[in-house]
Structure 1
């Protein structure tokens, strides 16, 4: 383990890196745009037949894959052996498998097994009924040229004139290059991957590299992975990689970061990977040890825009700060705990986006506020849209940068605000360590349940407004201060979308005094037009709405209002002479029927409080001067407030 103080000291390592890896709190937008462009190369929507059609009648225990490929040729020859347990009595099982490929045979206990292919589904027919809970196996032998549905699931390309091959199966592309169950309900308990390719190339995949053997001009890499894994997180990449390692220390433990990079990028990529050490140490502090500590973390370079969090072997196009932080974060949120439906994809992408923001907060704090500003601006650029994905046939909607990534991240940030730091992070740690979902799948209801358990709060309304509901609020804040220095605030709210009638939120206001005093008050806003009063022990010069950006809002207004009715009683008067003011001194004659202390406020024509202080009056007429040196030329108002009412006079500074 390493302290946060030590983590901050490691920022010096990052600052020294090449400008090519400079920090950019707006990087997420370019990452998402690149990813979406590649996802939708051929399609913006997914035919329903491309989603999983495999039935859920079995539990996959183990899979051994042996793939023979050449990065210069778009072709695959495969042997996939699967060990499974039926979860009911069955005589046939369905698997996802592209009809563009050829299934040469399926064997069962050494004999050929009958099968039928319908669309992108293969159904295998067993000679006898398999009993619920029994353990059995079968082996697929297949080959062919994988097709692309716009996800880039099996790509042959070039870098610097050299062939490169990579896979990317999220969300529905695994079936395009191997027979599998790609639905989000069954992780394979463990896998072995064998990749055979021409000897000039190296192959990267999941888990630990056990060995590489050469025969007949070809090299076979054996990768072993002993953690549960979703089908879409299984991968391979093949080209003339250079390989190097980086070590991330945690007290007396280390995690190996294994990197497969293009030779032409080797030195730059070494500098980039060094950033990931501090990211991993921070995540360890906040969320616990790297979830695949017994094996490794790794990167393989590929040509697709952005990155992909293949389990223990992230694919990245470059080694930028936020991209590396985002993809590493997925190994806690996306790989260890995987969204249980594409409707809940924000549990992957929203968390990873927020964790990349936490890297700014804890390691490079000067970028934290811009990160939040950009996320909020992205979210509020349109009035509607829910984080909950209603149309899982639309790739653009599943991977919406505005909703899944940015709004997903910021509704986590708001939950942190509602719960408080210690409770929030405890709830998140409980969520990812829940035995029912760790190394398995989760739904939004699981996260809600854990946060409610540690906070004691009912979050049903929050998730209804911010997860399934659409839009965001805009606040209209009006305030005044009375003679006893109480602030009086009225909060009104409008909503950008009709799906939510009111967003109940704790609203932070920063109260500033004339001598650099400040205090933040939090108003529990539960209905429109709500009034609040609170003691402030200094005259108020200005009020700021949510300066630390906890809330998803836009077009908020703050206005100072007269807190009491105008004075109509005899005995009060206010005169300003001369008017306009030319020498920086506001001369006044104030008449009062009694000796008293009153509140005086100077406000600009646009509502800005320029001065706020207490004034002592004698009975009768009192001459008072106010220093307005440095005030811009323009029209202002001087307001005097007493327990009986107020007087206001306008004046001009030339």
Structure 2
């Protein structure tokens, strides 16, 4: 999800901040408190100041354990809704299988604003117990493992409107300006689905399918998940929209949007899909003239992301949009809710269909697997379809991620909604983690193969950061524990203080690394330096593995400037770049120099008296490659793969170590 706010919407949101809800969390009563959410983050839900006791939601642990006694297969929502009301009535069917030997209680969640009229198990009434949003139905007959449970909940009431969720509530109504259109819509992420229907709010249990029926005034259209099966006439000038999706779906992605929409739809042909994909849009009357160009980008986005990530996950049904004044977008499965249309917003929400909808974070601590991936997809779309905006996007992402902040990309308090959807950490730094991983791999084909493998392995499932790390290591054949430890679980970013000096054709660079966070004092990373001279510009890539690194390069011409990370592949800050003759090492006869460095294969030795007795080559994680005795002052490493290597040179009374980059 991604948000853009108007002044009017911000005014409304600030009014919401005045009301708080209390939640029962494992016998500890905590006060939910409304906090401001960063401008281009996304979601709607509770904000809690409690410690991270509940990684999978805000429900109490005992209630959550009861919900884990069954596997949910199917929801059927049969509701009465209007475009200008928070009133909800109807029934919801939950079809499940028992997972334990004896299931005598069926637990679910529903906001206390709603009166439960009846709960039926296979048509037989159940007695119920309620504690705030937690509901337990006592089953008339206990179920054994693998037995089916068909539970139907009849209820009515008015959805909460106190603004205790991050953006509005789980169910909202408002007038969209300047269109003057009244709209009712849902926005359940991360914990607010229970504000409009009976639900099991555990990410690990995706429903296998969902049916959404909405009876409403004949002047309304209703957008929801999957394919529209039919529109059934009903008494009293009403009709029923009947939607059905046969794909697995997380609870927070089930959606409705009700308004006096106009439909604008088109088909998009894609390689890998057996038929064109329907793009179905429900728009405010008159909005098409304003947004048609941007909406039409959905076709190229679908084709591009299908090429990069694999065919659109829900191609047998549809993709589309329902407009609602939410100040941005929410990635409801197969039908995103958006308030407006612009390049990065539309790309972001579509990318969520892969990253968030098909593959979902296993709990909200790993939200970057949803939001960081969708945010990085904005850049991927720009690189292919609007290349001139690439650097602008990177500039903004880096600037936001470099704002002084505390915390890791991994969310330690997954009940704190403002932290879950922190713009700098979950979105921009999360996206830049992928950007840096792409550069660390030094192979775009390999990077996208990793994404496709990750997607294939966890399609319609949930995943954690370590799951993604395992796929990265499996596909690349390289260890990346250090990378995820420092960039996802660690904090901050490296800060470089750089000095340089030139002596003839030799340039010396000394880079001193500090960190913006004491929790991650050193970042092991490749760093690129752009060395500009009077004759040409050269970009060199080196490894930074300790606080102070010294490098030496051969150049042509006189240095006119040095730049750190010229193409913005690394999240970093530079405290200074200065010329400093004191870093020139002692006389060359005493100093060992390997050149050229980087090299395409041939390496020459210069400096120390005599040749080393032997040279050993290691990769940068310490694996021995070979040892040999040099026959002269030159030797070849042309057979090595591209990357950085450590050369250990043994002399009669001493040894030396030199890092070299093989192109």
TM range, smaller chain: 0.7 to 0.9
Contact kept, 8 Å, 1:31 with 1:323, in 2: the verdict is no
Distance 1:157 1:76, change over 3 A: same
Deviation at 1:131, TM superposition (A): 1.1
1:425 is matched with 448
1:236-275 to structure 2, matched below 5 A, reads: 236-251=256-271, 253-275=275-297
1:189 is matched with 208
2: CA distance between counterparts of 1:111 and 1:245? 44
Secondary structure class of the residue paired with 1:263:
coil
1:350 is matched with 372
CA RMSD of aligned residues (A): 2.3
1:522 is matched with 541
C-alpha offsets along residues 447-481 of structure 1, whole Å, 9 cap, x if unaligned?
11111112222222222211121111111122233
Secondary structure class of the residue paired with 1:250:
coil
Contact kept, 8 Å, 2:532 with 2:559, in 1: the verdict is yes
Distance 1:32 1:478, change over 3 A: farther
Q: 2:305 aligns with which of 283, 289, 292?
A: 283
Q: 2:249 aligns with which of 187, 212, 229?
A: 229
TM-score by length of 1: 0.78
Contact kept, 8 Å, 1:286 with 1:425, in 2: the verdict is yes
1:501 is matched with 521
1:624-643 to structure 2, matched below 5 A, reads: none
- Give the total of aligned pairs: 537
Gaps of 5+ in 1: 1-26, 568-654
Deviation at 1:250, TM superposition (A): 1.8
Secondary structure class of the residue paired with 2:243:
strand
2:175 is matched with 158
1:88-103 to structure 2, matched below 5 A, reads: 88-89=100-101, 90-103=103-116
**Which structure has the larger Rg over C-alpha atoms?**
1
Contact kept, 8 Å, 1:58 with 1:88, in 2: the verdict is yes
Detail structure 1 runs of 4+ shifted over 4 Å in the superposition: 27-40, 47-50, 563-567
1:387 is matched with 409
C-alpha offsets along residues 228-277 of structure 1, whole Å, 9 cap, x if unaligned?
00110000011110001122222474211100000031222322211111
Deviation at 1:56, TM superposition (A): 1.1
1:204-219 to structure 2, matched below 5 A, reads: 204-216=223-235, 217-219=237-239
1: CA distance between counterparts of 2:526 and 2:12? 40
Secondary structure class of the residue paired with 1:128:
strand
2:490 is matched with 469
Gaps of 5+ in 2: 18-33, 36-46, 588-663
Deviation at 1:31, TM superposition (A): 6.1
2: CA distance between counterparts of 1:361 and 1:37? 36
Report whether the alignment pairs 1:173 with 2:192: yes
Distance 1:354 1:109, change over 3 A: same
Contact kept, 8 Å, 2:203 with 2:362, in 1: the verdict is yes
Secondary structure class of the residue paired with 1:351:
helix
Q: 1:79 aligns with which of 91, 107, 110?
A: 91
Deviation at 1:29, TM superposition (A): 8.0
Deviation at 1:119, TM superposition (A): 1.4
Report whether the alignment pairs 1:478 with 2:499: yes
Contact kept, 8 Å, 1:32 with 1:401, in 2: the verdict is no
Contact kept, 8 Å, 2:4 with 2:327, in 1: the verdict is no
1:369 is matched with 391
Q: 2:360 aligns with which of 338, 344, 367?
A: 338
Secondary structure class of the residue paired with 1:468:
coil
C-alpha offsets along residues 481-520 of structure 1, whole Å, 9 cap, x if unaligned?
343x3332222111111101101110011222312x2222
1:441 is matched with 462
Deviation at 1:383, TM superposition (A): 4.5
2: CA distance between counterparts of 1:266 and 1:561? 61
Secondary structure class of the residue paired with 2:398:
helix
Distance 1:423 1:402, change over 3 A: same
Secondary structure class of the residue paired with 2:81:
strand
C-alpha offsets along residues 575-595 of structure 1, whole Å, 9 cap, x if unaligned?
xxxxxxxxxxxxxxxxxxxxx
Contact kept, 8 Å, 1:389 with 1:397, in 2: the verdict is yes
2: CA distance between counterparts of 1:35 and 1:410? 29
2: CA distance between counterparts of 1:376 and 1:519? 24
Contact kept, 8 Å, 2:3 with 2:328, in 1: the verdict is no
